[in-house]
Amino acid sequence: MPIDFHQHQNRYTYATRNADSGWAQAIQAIVAPHGALAEKRVADIGCGGGIYSLAWQALGAGSVRGVDFSAQMVTAAREKSAGVDNVSFSQGDATASGLEGESTDIVFERALIHHLKDYAACFAEARRVLAPGGLFIVQDRTPDDVALPGAPDHMRGYFFERYPRLLQVEAGRRPPVAKVEQAMRDAGFSQVQSQTLWEIRKTYPDFETLGKDLAARTGRSILHDLNDTELADLIAHIKSQLPANGPIVEKDRWTLWVGTKPS
């Protein structure tokens, strides 16, 4: 059964880690040619628990507004960002965000679009809220990103080796590169480009800590398609594939798409 983002029990599922410095470097490189980040207003749509809203703030964005359709996520994001300046959150849909027209310089949507049936309304909303010349940055995993084999530093690959049916779930929802590029152009964005990014998701001191995170399905919506028995089997399988000792660095490959709203 897919994750229900509106359930209280899932409130912190996208709030319990921090963004990786490799992500920050990739974003800096994209944004740098477009002027000082301190002058930029960023909207993080589908912000979850605010991990990346806070990462944009730490990068030096002038202001960050996180938007999510789940009241639970917005509550978690507000808790996580308590006391941090220039970051705020509101409830809104990716297709009707509640943000003012032309009120942002950067719209960022991470791990959102694979939850949407139709990108057109979402991308039209991004274009509406962006000021002319603004950047639209989408981050998600493509079917090719997802299908990479399992390895000690790419443990997500083990999910699909052990439970191939999960790959079918992913194939049905993950966006191919060209589909997103075309949807961006159709929504009126120019200079559309894409690139891949290896992002460290989290570093675990030992398997016990990782196993607890997996058992709670934290931040991994695909694991909601396994029942508890299957999940326990998967965790045992992953343990058998990883070195017995030492920290575990969990990495995933992502795709970043960037488009510009014409001036």
Q: Which residues here bind ligand SAM, judged by CB under 6 A?
A: 5, 14, 46-48, 51-52, 68-70, 73, 93-94, 110-112, 115, 221
Rounded least distance, CB 98 to ligand SAM, Å: 11
Determine the Cα–Cα distance for residues 63 and 40; give it in Å rounded to an integer.
Answer: 7
Q: Collapsing DSSP states into helix, strand and coil, what is residue 149? A: coil
Cβ-based nearer residue to ligand SAM, 66 or 150: 66
CA nearest to 218, candidates 14, 2, 9 = 14
Rounded least distance, CB 243 to ligand SAM, Å: 27
Cβ-based nearer residue to ligand SAM, 239 or 253: 253
Amino acid at 232: A
* Helical residues (DSSP H) of the chain, grouped into ranges: 21-31, 51-59, 71-80, 119-129, 143-146, 156-162, 165-173, 177-186, 207-215, 228-241
Number of residue whose CB is nearest ligand SAM: 48
Rounded least distance, CB 27 to ligand SAM, Å: 13
Cβ-based nearer residue to ligand SAM, 61 or 242: 61
Q: Collapsing DSSP states into helix, strand and coil, what is residue 85? A: coil
Rounded least distance, CB 263 to ligand SAM, Å: 27
* Distance from the first to the final alpha carbon of the chain: 43
Per-residue exposure over 160-177, b if at least 16 CB sit within 10 Å of its own CB, e if not: bebbeebbebbeebbbeb
Cβ-based nearer residue to ligand SAM, 123 or 207: 123
Rounded least distance, CB 114 to ligand SAM, Å: 8
Determine the Cα–Cα distance for residues 63 and 75; give it in Å rounded to an integer.
Answer: 19
Q: Collapsing DSSP states into helix, strand and coil, what is residue 33? A: helix
Cβ-based nearer residue to ligand SAM, 80 or 242: 80
Cβ-based nearer residue to ligand SAM, 104 or 221: 221
DSSP string spanning 66-105?
Answer: EEES-HHHHHHHHHHTTT-TTEEEEE-BTTB--PPTT-EE
Cβ-based nearer residue to ligand SAM, 93 or 233: 93
Dihedral sign for Cα atoms in the order 67, 132, 255, 60: negative
Rounded least distance, CB 68 to ligand SAM, Å: 5
CB-CB contact of 8 with 76 (8 Å)? no
Rounded least distance, CB 181 to ligand SAM, Å: 20
**The pair of three-digit structure tokens given for residue 257, joined into one six-digit string:** 């798409």
